[in-house]
Amino acid sequence: MQVTIREMLYEYPANKKPRIMCAADAAAEAKFISEASKEFMVCFYLNTKHDILAREIVSVGLINASLIHPREVFRSAIHINAQSIVMVHNHPSGEAEFSSADIEVTNVIAQAGEVLGIELLDHIVVAGAGYKSAKEERLIRSVVKV
């Protein structure tokens, strides 16, 4: 599927807010990027019931890399008053495995979310027909509270 700039931020209608309760739900909602030829990072912004308020393409990368920073991830989350987020990105290689850079970004975003009070529920890699969940793989380090 071809992804266009018009789809960068999509707010779901009040009566059609799908719910993300597990990694499979998020992977299904992000199917539109699973076979893209470039890396796309999509954030789903959720309310307290885990209904999707909006989704946003926060980064478009190259065939094997993507630049991402917490400010891109949390800008819209703050604006629409999201309680939590789920990040999903694709691997054009077809391999749904986390790279060391993916793990590092996941934990930077989790720490930033802790400071902002917006929880990172999961980071999912989609590729072809498969996906991997950072939460299920236990790759998200818990933030130590002081």
Beta bridge partners of 126: 90, 131
Domain boundaries, position 124: 6-133
Residue 105 lies in a domain: yes
CATH number of the CATH domain containing 111: 3.40.140.10
- Mean pLDDT within 66-86: 92
The closest alpha carbon to 56, from 36, 19, 30, belongs to: 30
Cβ atoms of 10 and 4 within 8 Å: the answer is no
Domain count for the chain, please give it.
Answer: 1
In Å, the largest CA–CA distance within the chain is 45
The whole-angstrom separation of Cα 125 and Cα 9 is 20
Sign, Cα dihedral of 10, 11, 17, 19:
positive
142: buried, middle or exposed (CB in 10 Å: 19+, 13-18, 0-12)?
A: exposed
Residue 83 lies in a domain: yes
Residue 141 lies in a domain: no
Residue 144 lies in a domain: no
Residue 12 lies in a domain: yes
Query: What confidence tens digit (pLDDT) does each residue in 21-49 have?
Result: 999 999 999 999 988 888 999 999 999 99
pTM across the whole model: 0.88
Query: What confidence tens digit (pLDDT) does each residue in 56-72 have?
Result: 999 988 666 667 889 98
- CA distance readout (Å), 22 to 25, 79, 88: 5, 24, 13
Residue 1 lies in a domain: no
Residue 110 lies in a domain: yes
Q: Which residue has the tokens 């700039």?
A: 5
The pLDDT of residue 7: 55
Q: How many CB atoms lie within 10 A of CB 40?
A: 22
